[in-house]
């Protein structure tokens, strides 16, 4: 979901596997974690780099829509909380980049791929945050969907990825709660205008939040192999269903209406029936044509380029000082 449509190589039947591949699959089936220096099929490595990389990019780009409101948060306390949350997202990005780097790709390569459009980030961050209620909605729905995905990923087969997920999950529930807290204030204690603002945010974010889990299982061509390798534990549709079931009562508590006339409890399946998002829109946003794709990438690239002199400067300083220290040591001997 933070990693949507990650391309994976096709799943192999046991008979088609080499002896090494079979031994690898056995380790995964036994629930063993794969560690950086262990042998792994090239497809496993590549798929993981794509998935963890996309996940990391999503955390970093995800700072932008929220950063938009740091200077305009309604109180000093809300501002401090939002700052802490956005800082967490940076941290989550860093844990994930480190995990990806253990697979033999460099940080600079990952960033160059993002900036060059060769790697993606979650579609959700290409929607604008127009009002303060959007910040509540992002915390509640977007982070809620993220948690739904990340909880299962704690059990993923690649050790460094799993450990990053465990760390992230520990920190993430504060994010969702702070969003819900913003909305409780607006919906339960706010003016009719504030409540209308929250409903408007709900109307705009509901379907993009459902899209975060990726295309429906019937079209999800990469899932089989990823699930065989336990890179992915649940299917897109399973997670989406869980998310809807969890979210509906929370919306009811706020008195918000989910913008789906077909939403209805289904006793037989023990979950809600609901409308699918507009998949054409999803594919458009992924292809770069969402409302904020250009703006997000421009902000990223500008930040990266504007910081180049600083990164270089610190490196030059470190090298000079190392050389000076080495010379001093030599002189003392």
Which residues sit at the interface with another protein, rule CB under 8 A?
Answer: 35, 37-39, 84, 87-88, 91, 94-95, 98, 101, 106-108, 163-164, 167, 171, 308, 311-312, 314-315, 317-318, 321-322
Between CA 248 and CA 276 the distance in angstroms is 15
In 279-295, which positions are buried (b, 16+ CB within 10 angstroms) versus exposed (e)?
eeebeebbeeebebbee
Read off the tokens for 185.
């204030």
Beta bridge partners of 272: 265
Q: Which is nearer to another protein, 12 or 27 (CB)?
A: 27
Separation CA 199–CA 257 (nearest Å): 7
Taking the least distance from each CB to another protein, the nearer of 112 and 130 is 112
Continuous segment of H or E residues that includes residue 280: helix 279-284
- The distance of closest approach from Cβ of residue 161 to another protein in the complex, given in angstroms and rounded to an integer, is 12
Least Å from the CB of residue 101 to another protein: 7
Tokens of 192: 């009719």
Among residues 84 and 303, whose Cβ is nearest to another protein?
Answer: 84
Cβ closer to another protein: 164 or 183? 164
Q: How big, in percent rounded to 5, are the helix, strand and coil portions of the chain?
A: 70, 0, 30
Alpha carbon distance 134, 128 (integer Å)? 9
Name the token pair of 237. 């549709």
For another protein, give the closer residue by CB, 97 or 121.
97
Distance of closest approach, residue 205 Cβ to another protein, in angstroms: 27
User: What dihedral angle (degrees, nearest 10) is formed by the CA atoms of 118, 119, 121, 127?
Assistant: 0
| Least Å from the CB of residue 30 to another protein | 16
d(CA 212, CA 162): 20
**Is 38 or 252 the residue whose CB approaches another protein more closely?**
38
Looking at the Cβ atoms of 111 and 202, the one nearer to another protein is 111
Q: Say how far residue 82 (Cα) sits from the centre of its chain.
A: 18
- Least distance in angstroms from the C-beta of 124 to another protein: 24
Cβ at position 255, least distance to another protein in Å: 33
What is the nearest approach in angstroms of another protein to the Cβ of residue 35?
Answer: 7
The strand pairing partners of 223, in sequence order, are none
């Amino acid at each position: 979901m933070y990693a949507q449509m990650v391309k994976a190589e096709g799943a192999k039947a046991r008979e088609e596997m080499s002896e090494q591949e079979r031994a690898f699959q056995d380790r995964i089936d036994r629930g063993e974690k794969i560690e950086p220096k262990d042998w792994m099929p090239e497809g496993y490595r590549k798929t993981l780099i794509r998935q963890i990389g996309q996940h990391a990019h999503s955390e970093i780009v995800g700072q932008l829509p929220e950063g938009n409101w740091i200077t305009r948060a309604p109180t000093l306390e809300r501002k401090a909380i939002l700052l802490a949350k956005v800082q967490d997202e940076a941290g989550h990005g860093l844990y994930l980049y480190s995990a990806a780097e253990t697979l033999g790709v460099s940080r600079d390569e990952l960033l160059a791929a993002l900036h060059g459009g060769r790697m993606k980030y979650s579609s959700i961050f290409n929607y604008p945050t127009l009002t303060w209620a959007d910040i509540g909605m992002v915390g509640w729905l977007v982070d809620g969907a993220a948690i739904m995905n990340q909880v299962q990923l704690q059990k993923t087969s690649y050790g460094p990825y799993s450990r990053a997920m465990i760390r992230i999950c520990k920190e993430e529930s504060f994010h969702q709660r702070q969003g819900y807290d913003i909305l409780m204030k607006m919906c339960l204690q706010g003016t009719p205008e504030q409540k209308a603002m929250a409903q408007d945010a709900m109307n705009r974010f509901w379907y993009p939040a459902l899209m975060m889990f990726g295309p429906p299982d019937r079209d999800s061509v990469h899932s089989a192999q990823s699930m065989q390798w336990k890179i992915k534990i649940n299917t897109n549709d399973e997670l989406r269903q869980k998310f809807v079931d969890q979210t509906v009562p929370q919306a009811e508590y706020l008195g918000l209406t989910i913008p789906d006339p077909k939403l209805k409890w289904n006793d037989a399946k023990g979950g809600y029936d609901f409308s699918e998002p507009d998949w054409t829109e999803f594919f458009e946003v992924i292809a770069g044509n969402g409302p904020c794709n250009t703006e997000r990438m421009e902000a990223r690239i500008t930040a990266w380029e504007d910081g180049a002199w600083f990164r270089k400067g610190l490196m030059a300083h470190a090298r000079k000082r190392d050389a000076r220290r080495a010379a001093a040591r030599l002189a003392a001997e």
